Amino acid sequence: MVRLTAELIENAPQFTNAIQDRELDLHGYKFPAIENMGSTLDQFDTIDLSGNEIRKLDGFPLLKRLKALILNNNKIVRIAEDLGQQLPYLNTLILTSNSFTELRELDPLATCDKLTFLTLTHCPVTMRANYRLYVISLLPSLRFLDYKRVTNSERKLANSMFKRIPAMASGASGVKGAPGLRNGIRSQNPAGGTTTVKTFIPGAPLYTNAGVDKENTASIDARGSTETKDISSMPPPPPAAPVQMGNKRPGGSAQDLYAIQEAIKRARTMDEVDRLHQLLSSGQFAGFAIQWQQQLRLQQQQNQQQRQQQQQQEQQEQEQQRKAEQEQETSSMVEEQTEQVQQPETMVQQNELLQHEESTNLEMATQDNIVDQQIHSMEVTQSVE
């Protein structure tokens, strides 16, 4: 098994890239873990770690110069909780084609407070409801997500969806993780200190404990009634909308999610794929299954009508071709019959001409004989006289 050794780092290609940054090329070596990065001596702006077998994004010492990490085509499922502390100036992170499946696996990215460009395309997590809004809420500095600009409307919607949750204190003995933030959002408690708010599970109703895991629940019970009093004294957040029995979740049902995934698979143009991905990322696709079924029925009807029109057109073309062939056969037969009729007439005319010539010749011969006889009789008469 190949390991990322100091010798490998020293012998790897180093160059100045197109944007005049010093880059270290470590792609395609198939090593399973990031290690010995102190050998870089913090001399690079960009490090390319794509095409390896990395499963966890960690193992970095403090690298103040590093601004961009390229990690596409790996198997990353976890991110170090202190990534932002070890790479304080990281602003570009490429995680295309990795193995993230749950939104909570992206929570450590919140420590990267200077991250402006992030891509997670072709990761299973992008199919989760509210994925895009969730990531935007984690990273206030983010400007581009999956090669699309983060708009102000998306940021407002993300803040309203993932930050209007009652603050829950988390002391040092409670949740472990990065200072001030772990799997949650920073907020201020009534005493003025910084506390951590656990984000809810996407798709669960707002303002409930569905998103608080067992670890938070245990820490709250251990702290006792003092913190309970503090929490209960906090003003409740304004409700987003009245909740009624039978209403669908904003993200839609599992049937809607399956329908939109199938629609993405059957999309024929990139514009249609982008539109469906945007709809999926926004989480506002409730009722999509019914609309898609209606669209499929309409498309089937249109296809059936097109097939019928094509069949009718083919039948008309065949009928026209058959008529043309019949007309051609009829004209050929008429020509043959005309020739057959004309041939006897021509022979009769030729016979008549021959007979006429023979009769003319006979008359002329008869006249010549008569003339000869008259001349002979005249000569005889003259000789007698």
Q: What percent of the chain has pLDDT over 90?
A: 37
**Which are the contacts of 238, defined by CB distance < 8 A and separation ≥ 6?**
164
Q: Which pLDDT band holds residue 88 (cuts at 50, 70, 90)?
A: very high
CA 140 vs. chain centroid, Å, equals 27
Do residues 70 and 46 make contact, with C-beta atoms less than 8 angstroms apart? yes
Q: Is 15 helix (H, G, I), strand (E, B) or coil?
A: strand
More confident residue, 307 or 281: 307
Q: How far is CA 277 from CA 61, 139, 189, in A?
A: 36, 20, 37
What is the rounded average pLDDT of the residues 194-221? 44
Q: Note the pLDDT of residue 205.
A: 45
More confident residue, 228 or 254: 254
Q: Note the pLDDT of residue 220.
A: 41
Which H/E stretch holds residue 48? strand 46-48
Q: What tens digit of pLDDT does each residue of 26-76 get?
A: 999 999 999 999 999 999 999 999 999 999 999 999 999 999 999 999 999
Q: Note the pLDDT of residue 183.
A: 42
Question: Could you tell me where the DSSP H helices lie in the chain?
Answer: 6-11, 83-86, 131-138, 152-162, 214-223, 225-233, 254-266, 270-282, 288-384
**Which are the contacts of 218, defined by CB distance < 8 A and separation ≥ 6?**
none
What are the structural domains of the chain?
1-162 (3.80.10.10), 164-235 (no CATH), 251-264+273-297 (no CATH)
Q: Note the pLDDT of residue 385.
A: 67
Strands 184-188 and 68-70: unpaired
Q: Note the pLDDT of residue 263.
A: 81
Q: What tens digit of pLDDT does each residue of 246-299 get?
A: 333 445 677 777 787 778 777 777 777 777 777 777 777 777 788 878 888 888
Q: Note the pLDDT of residue 342.
A: 67
Which H/E stretch holds residue 385? none
Q: What tens digit of pLDDT does each residue of 326-362 get?
A: 888 888 888 887 777 666 667 777 888 888 888 888 8
Q: Which pLDDT band holds residue 24 (cuts at 50, 70, 90)?
A: very high
What is the rounded average pLDDT of the residues 186-213? 44
Q: What tens digit of pLDDT does each residue of 112-155 get?
A: 999 999 999 999 999 988 899 999 999 999 999 999 999 998 89
Q: Note the pLDDT of residue 126.
A: 92
What is the rounded average pLDDT of the residues 172-192? 40
What is the average pLDDT score of the chain? 76
